[in-house]
Structure 1
Amino acid sequence: MFNASTWIANYGTSYVAPSSNLGTLEICDPPANNWSWAFGISANGSIVVGVSGCPEAWVVHNAFRWVGGSMQNLGTLGGELSWAYDVSADGAVVVGWADNNEGVMRAFRWEEACGRMQDLGTLGGRRSIAYAVSADGHWISGCAETPDGEVHAVRWYADCSGVYLVQDLGTLGGNYSCAYGISENGTIVVGESKTAEGTIHAFRWTSTDGMQDLGILPGGSYSRAYDVSADGFIVVGEASNSDRRLHAFRWTPARGMEDLNQTYAHLLPGDPISHLAAGAAITPNGRYIVGWGFNLVLTRGAMREMGYTLDTVCPLEPFGDIDCDGCVSDADLIAVLMAWGCCGRCGSADINQDGCVDDADLLIVLINLGRGC
C-alpha cells in the first residue's frame, strides 16, 4: 500500500525518497492495509492534506487533514467519497471534492472554524471539483459543469457563512477548461483549456485580462499548467515536445514557455531517457519546482517515475555564469541580451539583482568572459 509522506529536500535537481510516514485513516478493516496520498501542505509544513482509503481504491476513501501527528477525517457532503487537494497558508482551510447524498461529485471548502464541509456549487450543471485555494483560504479554483454539460474553469469566493461568487473563467475557444492553480491573492488562475482547434493548451487567467493561451513547446501539441507562484508571474506544468514526450515547463511573461530539460540540461544525467516530465508545484517565491520524471542513473536503468525537487537559482560561480554550466561564455552573453530591458522577475539574467537586466549585467558578463572555461 502507498502511504502519504513528507520530504525534506543546493542548487540542482534532487530525486527524493520519503522521510516520514503520515499514516492512514482507520476507515477499513484491517487498517494496516489502508492507503493514503498527500496533495497539499501549509506554508510552514506542519499541516498536510490528501486522501486515505481502503485497498479496493475506489470503494471507500475520504479527505484527510494531518496535524500534530494525527490524521483527521474531513467527511463528505452526504455521500461516501471525498478527496482533498489543497490547503490555505495557515492550514485552516481545505478544498477538494466530495460526494453529496446523491453520489454526485461536488467541490467543497472545509474550514477549521466552521468544522464542516461547504458545497461550493456549480455553473448550473451537476458536478464540480476544487483543486487550489488562495493563501487566505477565500479564493478557490477548479472546474464545474455548465447547464449544457460542458466543463469550465471556475473561481469561487467563500467563507464560513456562504459562497459569494461562482465565476465562469471561460475557455480558449473550445468547450472545456479546468483550473489547477491560483495565486496568493486569488487574482490569477492557471490550468488547461481546449482551443478552437480542439487541442489542449495551458492557460493563465487574470481578473483584468481574462484567459491567456500560454502556448506549447516547439513541435508539441499539448500543454497543461499545474501551479503558479505567489505573485502569479511564474507558471509550471507539463507539455509535449516534438518527440511526443511530456516535458516539464516554466512560463514567465519575459521568457514565455521554456523546457526545463533544456534550461537545466547540465543538471540532468544526459542519457536520452532521463528527463523532467512535469512541473507539478512551485514555491511561493518561484525558486523551487517539484514534480516527477525519470532518472535512469538512480533507478539503475529501470523506467520508473520518481519525484524531484529543482532549485532554479544557481550560486553564480564564477560570477556571470548565468546558465550555471561552470563557464562564463557567449551563451551567458546571449542570455543577457535576450532578456535586455526586462524589469521585475527576470531570473538569473539580472545578475546584480537590482530588478532590471541592463548594461550593469552585461558589463559583469563581459568582465568575467572566459572564467571557468
Structure 2
Amino acid sequence: MQKILIRSLLGAVFAVGLAFPVAASAQSSYTIIDLGTFGGNFSEAFGISPGGFVTGDANLSTSSTQHAFLYDGKVKSDLGTLGGTNSTGYGVNDSGQVAGVSDLKTAGTTHAFRHDSTGMHDLGTLGGGNSEGMAINANGQVTGDADLADNANHAFRYDSSGMHDIGTLGGRFSNGVGINASGQITGSSILSDNFTIHAFRYDNNGMHDLGSLGGTRSYGYSINTGGQVTGYSAIANNAASHAFRADDTGIHDLGTLGGSSSFGEGINDSGTIVGQSYIANGTIRAFYANGNTMTDLNTLLPAGSGWQLSDAYAINNNGWIVGEGSINQEGHAFLLKPTAVPAPSSLLIMGIGGMLLAGRVRRRKRR
C-alpha cells in the first residue's frame, strides 16, 4: 500500500497564556532514529503527531507483506489489516489514532481505516468499491478519497456521523491528503475540462482552487493550522514539478536542490516544509525548507551516520521529521530530532492551535 511516489497536520503548542510554534530553523544537526521493520528489509514513515507518535508501514519477515505500524517513542506496534494482506498508516494524532488504508479479504479491494485502542475500523466508501485514508486530525476526523457508485472518486471528510463527500473542482475525481485541526483539507482535483488537475484547500465554504506554478497540474499534500498548504506543481510547459507553499498571497515556488523537480509533502505551523528533491546528478534527496531556502537533510546528519535520506514526509512543530532512507543497503523509516533548540519564529495567541484519473494521489510510492 505504498504511496504513489512521494505527507499531516501538526497542531502543536506549549505555553501559559501564549503559544510559540517552534520552527526548525537552520538546525546545526539532527539525531536519527532507525524505526526498523517487522523482520523484513523495508519500512517507511509517513505521519508524525505533535507529540511524536509516528505511523507508516513495514515489511514482515516472511514475505513482501507490509503492515501499518504505530510508534509511540518506545515500541513499534503492528496494526494488522482489515482481513487482507497489506496495510499502511498515513496519518496519526496524539491520541494514537491512525488513518490509513488496508486490503480487505476480497482481492483487489482496499478500504480506509481508523485505528484506535480498540482495533482497526473500516470507514467504508462513498458507494463504490475502494477508499483510502490519508490524514487524521486531533478530533479524529479523517480525510482521503473513496469511490462512488458511478466509478468516480471523490475526496471525503470522515467524522462521528460518517463519511462525507466534499466534491470536486468540477471534474469527476478528487482526493484529500491533508487535514488540519479546524477540519480544513488539502488535496487535488480534476477541473471541469477533465484534464487539468489543481491543488485545493477545502473549508466550510467549499473547495477553493489554489492554482499552479504555470503548468496544468498541482497537488496539495499537507495543511497547517494557519491554512498554509504545501505540495508540488508543474511549472510552465509542464517542464518539471516544483514544491510550493500556498498561502493567502498565492502559490510560491520553492525551487529544487539543483535538479529538475521537487515535491513538498509536510508543513508545520511555522511554515517549515519537508519533502523530496532531485539534485544535480539526478539522485533524490530529502529536503527541509525554512522560508524559501531548501536544504538537503543529508548535510545535517552526524558524520558517518551511514544514512542516505531520500524522502521526508512530515514534520511537527518540534521540528521532528519522519521519512524514508537507506541504511546498510535497506530502505528504513527514520525519525529525525534536532540537536539544537530552534528559536521561536512567531508568537500566537494561545489556542490557535500517473494522474488523478486513476483515482488515487501521487503522494505515495508506486504500488
CA separation of 1:165 and 1:10: change in aligned 2, threshold 3 A: closer
Confirm or deny: 8 A CA contact 2:143 2:156 kept in the other structure: yes
| Gap change, CA 1:76 and 1:165, over 3 Å in 2 | same
- One-letter identity of the residue aligned with 1:304: T
Report matched runs for 1:149-160 at 5 Å: 149-158=151-160
Q: 1:311 to 1:174 in 2, by over 3 A?
A: same
Report the Cα offset of residue 135 of structure 1: 1.9
Q: Say whether 1:50 aligns with 2:56.
A: yes
Residue of structure 2 in register with 1:201 after alignment: 198
Residues 221-370 of structure 1: matches in 2 within 5 Å? Answer: 221-231=216-226, 233-242=227-236, 244-253=239-248, 255-261=249-255, 273-274=258-259, 277-283=262-268, 285-296=269-280, 302-312=281-291
- Do 1:13 and 1:311's aligned partners in 2 also have CA atoms closer than 8 Å? no
Q: 1:215 aligns with which of 207, 211, 218?
A: 211
AA paired with 1:293? S
Does the Cα contact within 8 Å between 1:53 and 1:61 map onto a contact in 2?
yes
Q: Does 1:118 align with 2:121?
A: yes
Report the TM-score when normalising by structure 1. Answer: 0.67
Give the residue type in structure 2 aligned to 1:239.
S
Alignment of 1:192 with 2:188, yes or no, is yes
Q: Deviations over 1:43-99 (max 9, x none)?
A: 122x21100115898x411101112432211011111111100101x1410010112
Whether contact under 8 Å (1:107, 1:128) holds in the other structure is yes
For the pair shown, the structure with the greater C-alpha radius of gyration is 1
Question: Quick one: distance in 2 between partners of 1:202 and 1:149?
Answer: 21
Aligned counterparts of 1:229 and 1:274: Cα–Cα separation in 2: 27
Over 3 Å counting, the alpha-carbon distance change for 1:96 and 1:293 in structure 2 is same
User: Which residue does the alignment assign to 1:172?
Assistant: 169
Length-normalised TM-score, structure 2: 0.68
Distance 1:83 1:352 in 2: 34
Contact 1:192 1:201 in 2 (8 A): yes
| Cα offset, 1:275, TM superposition | 6.3
Identical counterparts, % of pairs: 34
The runs of at least 4 aligned residues of structure 1 exceeding 6 Å deviation read: 351-355
Total equivalences in the alignment: 273
- Aligned CA RMSD, in angstroms, stands at 2.8
Match of 1:131 in 2: 134
AA matched with 1:281: G
Letter in structure 2 aligned against 1:235: V
Structure 2 gap ranges (5+):
1-22, 294-344, 350-367
Whichever residue aligns with residue 174 of structure 1, its letter is: G
- Residue 313 and residue 78 in structure 1: after superposition, are their counterparts in 2 closer, same or farther (change >3 A)? same
2:236 is paired with a residue whose SS is coil
Pair 75,215 (structure 1): closer, same or farther in 2 beyond 3 Å: same
Aligned pair in 2 of structure 1 residues 281, 354: CA closer, same or farther (>3 Å)? closer
Q: Contact (CA 8 Å) 2:244, 2:251: kept in 1 or not?
A: yes
1:76 corresponds to which of 64, 72, 81: 81
Report the structure, 1 or 2, having the larger strand content: 2
